[in-house]
């Protein structure tokens, strides 16, 4: 996330390409080794130059997990601010470098691995770019962004998640355009990645349900994703015969902030237990009334009928019912939006969250210093 060229932000680490799990084992050793080497150099050059007290880890999805074990082995303090489910065992183990060493491959690859072992290259490479399991990470300096993520991690076997502190995220509201005018809802917006987890098709089916009931609404999809995902969504809209009611619009990173205030309500349809999705949080902070799938961390800061309308995730009929309830509100959801904004400002303001994070990092740094002193003594 974020914009290229941000002052003080260095995007030096290489992301792994998205590869189907069954094809990871076919990736050549030469390319994987070059990838790990590039990321290790980038990290340690930054550490040598910046000399941080703590390396702060937010998300390692599609990044080299070997970096974490290298930092840990060298005694560098690492604080984990967990905002997504990259620590789930199956996702963690899908790291291409880990997968290449652990996966049972064909006889040619086994011979090559034997060659690396006999020549001592295996020992050297795994020392420089170590592999390991989730349970091998020291998460004593970590926090989770929602109880939903905590439950997901515990179900995946990350038992350390049980005692981690909870730090809800917040937004910098300087860039938000607040909604000022309310009317009976007719224009809805949907925003997110156009994939199965975000379930945009549920919103599309809900529009069809309303049309069958003789109710016409307008829904704009601000969809982000790969070209094939956008094409698939366009085809779905065309096939549904709802082209007069539903439109898909392109959006640049950061541009959504100015769009929320133009609509009557926001539709959140995710069915993937999002730890804490940002788009509905942005909409709520802009004062836009929201209809939320009862799913993931966003519902932990929402109260049914008081700060948002909720429905059962994946149920297009239930979403259509919620949209009708929203359309029936005489004030256009203004009182609900006001309650929501006040709640978020009071409990989840940027100032409060920054203070909590600073306290968390200070405690983590003090704890690590004590640990290192004990080891030296």
User: What is the rounded distance in angstroms from the CA atom of residue 218 to the CA atom of residue 248?
Assistant: 11
pLDDT category at 80 given cuts 50, 70, 90 is very high
Enter the pTM of the model.
Answer: 0.85
Query: Tokens for 189?
Result: 């917006």
Distance from the Cα of residue 183 to its chain's centroid: 32
How does residue 107 score in pLDDT terms, banded at 50, 70 and 90? confident
The CATH code belonging to domain 173-347 is 3.40.50.2000
Task: Count CB atoms within 10 A of the CB of residue 18.
Answer: 7
The pair of structure tokens assigned to 323 is 């949209």
Report the SS3 class of residue 199. Answer: coil
Q: Which of 121-125, 222-226, 320-324 has the lowest mean pLDDT?
A: 222-226
Spatial contact of 269 and 319, defined as CB atoms under 8 Å apart: yes
Of the two residues 112 and 19, the one the predictor is more confident about is 112
Residue 222 in tokens: 């601000």
Domain boundaries, the chain: 21-169+353-376, 173-347
How far is it, in rounded angstroms, from Cα 126 to Cα 98? Answer: 10
Residues 47-50: contacts with CB under 8 Å, at least 24 apart: 47/76
Compute, in degrees rounded to 10, the torsion defined by CA atoms 299, 353, 140, 274: 30
What does the mean pLDDT of the chain come to?
A: 89
Reference 181, options 258, 261, 255, 282; nearest CA is 261
Q: How confident is the model at residue 5, as a pLDDT?
A: 65
Token code pair at residue 256: 């959504």
- The answer to whether the CB of 100 falls within 8 A of the CB of 24 is yes
Given this model, what pLDDT does residue 283 score? 94
> Taking 70 as the threshold, does the pLDDT of residue 350 lie above it?
yes
The percentage of the chain sitting over the pLDDT mark of 90, rounded to a whole number, equals 58
Cα gap 289→182, rounded to integer Å: 9
Predicted confidence (pLDDT) at residue 1 exceeds the cutoff of 50? no
**Confidence tier at 89 by pLDDT (50, 70, 90):** confident
* Cα–Cα distance for residue pair 334/340, rounded to 1 Å: 10
Reported as type and span, the H/E element at residue 248 is strand 246-249
Cα–Cα distance, 320 to 326 (Å, whole number): 10
pLDDT digits (tens, 9 = 90+) for 7-27: 777 888 999 887 676 677 678
Q: In which order are the strands placed within the sheet that holds 309-311?
A: 246-249, 218-224, 187-193, 265-268, 290-293, 309-311
CA angle, corner 113, sides to 112 and 115, nearest 5?
Answer: 65
Distance separating alpha carbons of residues 309 and 336, to the nearest angstrom? 9
Burial class for 152, CB neighbours closer than 10 Å (0-12, 13-18, 19+): buried
pLDDT band per the 50, 70, 90 thresholds, residue 31: very high
* Torsion sign, CA atoms 35, 96, 17, 254: negative
């005692």: which residue's tokens?
163
Nearest-angstrom CA–CA distance, 326 and 186: 9
């Amino acid at each position: 996330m974020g914009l290229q060229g941000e002052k003080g932000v260095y995007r030096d680490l290489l992301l792994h390409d998205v590869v189907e799990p069954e094809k990871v084992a076919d990736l050549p050793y030469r390319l994987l080794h070059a990838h790990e080497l590039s990321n290790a150099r980038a990290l340690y050059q930054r550490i040598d130059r910046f000399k941080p007290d703590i390396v702060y880890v937010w998300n390692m999805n599609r990044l080299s997990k070997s970096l974490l074990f290298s930092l840990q082995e060298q005694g560098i303090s690492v604080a984990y601010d967990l905002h997504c489910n990259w620590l789930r065992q199956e996702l963690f183990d899908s790291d291409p470098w880990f997968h290449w060493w652990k996966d049972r491959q064909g006889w040619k690859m086994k011979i090559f691995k034997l060659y690396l072992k006999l020549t001592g290259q295996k020992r050297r490479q795994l020392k420089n770019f170590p592999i390991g399991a989730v349970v091998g990470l020291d998460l004593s300096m970590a926090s989770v962004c929602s109880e939903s993520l905590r439950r997901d991690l515990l179900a995946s076997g990350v038992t350390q998640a049980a005692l981690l502190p909870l730090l809800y995220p917040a937004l910098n509201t300087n860039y938000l355009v607040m909604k000022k005018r309310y009317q009976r809802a007719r224009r809805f917006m949907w925003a997110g990645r156009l994939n199965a987890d975000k379930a945009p098709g549920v919103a599309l089916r809900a529009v069809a349900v309303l049309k069958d009931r003789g109710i016409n609404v307008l829904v704009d999809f601000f969809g982000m994703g790969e070209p094939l995902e956008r094409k698939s969504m366009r085809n779905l809209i065309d096939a549904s015969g709802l082209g007069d009611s539903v439109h898909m619009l392109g959006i640049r990173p950061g541009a959504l902030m100015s769009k929320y205030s133009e609509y009557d309500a926001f539709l959140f349809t995710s069915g993937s237990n999002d730890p804490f999705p940002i788009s509905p949080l942005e909409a709520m902070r802009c004062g836009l009334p929201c209809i939320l799938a009862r799913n993931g961390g966003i519902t932990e800061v929402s109260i049914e009928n008081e700060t948002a309308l909720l429905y059962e995730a994946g149920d297009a009929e239930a979403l259509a019912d919620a949209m009708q309830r929203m359309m029936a509100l005489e004030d256009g959801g203004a009182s609900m939006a006001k309650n929501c904004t006040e709640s978020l400002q009071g409990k989840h303001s940027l100032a409060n969250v920054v203070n909590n994070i600073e306290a968390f990092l200070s405690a983590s740094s003090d704890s690590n210093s004590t640990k290192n002193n004990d080891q030296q003594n």
